[in-house]
Structure 1
Amino acid sequence: MTDAANALRTKQKPLKDKYRSDPSSALVTLTSTGSLDAGLTCSLSAASAAKKVAGLHPAAGGSGFDATGELCSGDMLLESLVACFGVTIRAVATSMGIPIEGGSVTCQGDLDFRGTMGIKGQDGEAVPVGFKSVRLVVRLEVGEEHKGNVDKLISLSERYCVVLQTIRQGVDVKTEVEHVGIGGETNGAGEGGEQTLDNDEVIKLQ
């Protein structure tokens, strides 16, 4: 077993012991907050000074990163998968004693923008909103003696990658309106009531 594998196991052992004896301690709530800016952007909070600003993809009428520095949330989803899978591969490889000299993880997602823009198909059918398919392409630089363990490495990485498993299995997402109005005043939703829009009205707002 390599020194890196021993170091990782030493760090993880007390955590694993704690989670086995007290399963509730393993439940952690991760939070991400975005501020709704003027215009069609949403600024994400970050610990660093540089904030990330999400906007519309050019295929949906946005200006794009090259023009304004605005990030497409679809790209950010793929980046999140790449980041999580890449870190997981590194951790699993370390535990397995497989030195990774280099490589890359690339994520490709097929997205039909008609869905999010409320455009129906040629036969009048609704076009699904969201990615139609997502592909992970992994390139690894490992020694000849470790190539036989790469399939197991990838399989375990898939199994333990949080973002990958969340996407594959799906998760219940609920939207809650915490406040609507200015200075504590409510306006048709939240505490003061409920406001609903039909599909056509929602499309006009996009």
Structure 2
Amino acid sequence: MTDAATKLREKQKPLKDRYRSDPSSALVTLSSTSTLDAGLSCSLATASAAKKVAGLHQAAGGAGFDMSGELCSGDMLLESLVACFGVTVKAVSTAMGIPLEGGSITAQGDLDFRGTLGIKGKDGEAVPVGFKSIRLVVGLKVDEEHKGSVDKLIQLSERYCVVLQTIKQGVNVETQVDDVSKPVSDVKKDGHATENANGGEPEPTVADDEVIPLQ
């Protein structure tokens, strides 16, 4: 066992022991926050001083990163995947005693922008919103002695990569309204808006395909 593997095991052992004896202590809530900016962008809170700004992809009417410096959230999803998989590969290879001489991980996602723009298919069918497929391309540099262990390394990395497993298995996402300055009108099934909670004038309704999604 290498020194790096030994140190990793020493760091993880007390954590594993605690999680076994107290499973509830293994549940950690991660959080990410965005602040709505002027225009069609929002700022992401990061640990560093550098501010990340998300905006529309060019295929959805945005200016693009080169022009605006705004990042597409779809790109950031793929960045999260390659980042998580890369860290997992490094951790698993260390635990297995496989020295990595280098490598790269690329995520390619196919996205039909008709879905997020509310454009229907030729036969009037709804186009799904989101990635149709994602490919993870992994290239690792290892010596001849450990080439036979690469398949097992990838298999275990897939198994323990949080972002990869979340995408593959899916997860329930609940949207909660935290702070609303004005009450939202109750829209009847026939499409006519009722008066809002303050008894004011009915708010106009907008068809789904008229909305410009901010994704």
TM-score, L = length of structure 1? 0.92
SS in 2 for 1:188: coil
| Alignment partner, residue 190 of structure 2 | none
| Alignment partner, residue 3 of structure 1 | 3
Deviation at 1:49, TM superposition (A): 1.0
SS in 2 for 1:127: coil
Bigger-Rg structure (1/2): 2
| Alignment partner, residue 188 of structure 2 | none
Code of the aligned partner of 1:41: S
| Alignment partner, residue 96 of structure 1 | 96
Matched, 1:204 2:211: yes
Deviation at 1:204, TM superposition (A): 2.4
| Alignment partner, residue 187 of structure 1 | 183
Deviation at 1:203, TM superposition (A): 3.6
Deviation at 1:199, TM superposition (A): 7.2
Matched, 1:23 2:17: no
Alignment of structure 1 residues 109-188 onto 2, 5 Å: 109-181=109-181, 186-188=182-184
Matches of 1:94 and 1:83, distance apart in 2: 17
The runs of 4+ residues in structure 1 deviating greater than 2 Å are: 186-189, 196-199, 201-206
Are the counterparts in 1 of residues 118 and 208 from structure 2 also a CA contact under 8 Å? Answer: no
Distance 1:202 1:39, change over 3 A: farther
List gaps (5 residues or longer) in structure 2. 186-195, 198-202
Larger helix proportion of the pair: 1
| Alignment partner, residue 192 of structure 2 | none
Say which structure, 1 or 2, has more relative contact order (CA 8 Å, 6+ apart).
2
Task: Give identity over the alignment, percent.
Answer: 73
Deviation at 1:187, TM superposition (A): 2.6
Q: How many matched pairs?
A: 199
Code of the aligned partner of 1:146: H
SS in 1 for 2:207: helix
Deviation at 1:115, TM superposition (A): 0.2
Matches of 1:198 and 1:70, distance apart in 2: 31
Deviation at 1:205, TM superposition (A): 4.2
Matches of 1:94 and 1:199, distance apart in 2: 55
Distance 1:5 1:33, change over 3 A: same
| Alignment partner, residue 44 of structure 1 | 44
| Alignment partner, residue 189 of structure 2 | none
Matches of 1:121 and 1:202, distance apart in 2: 12
Are the counterparts in 1 of residues 110 and 133 from structure 2 also a CA contact under 8 Å? Answer: yes
RMSD: 1.9
Code of the aligned partner of 1:53: V
Matches of 2:99 and 2:205, distance apart in 1: 55
Deviation at 1:198, TM superposition (A): 7.0
Code of the aligned partner of 1:106: T
TM-score, L = length of structure 2? 0.88
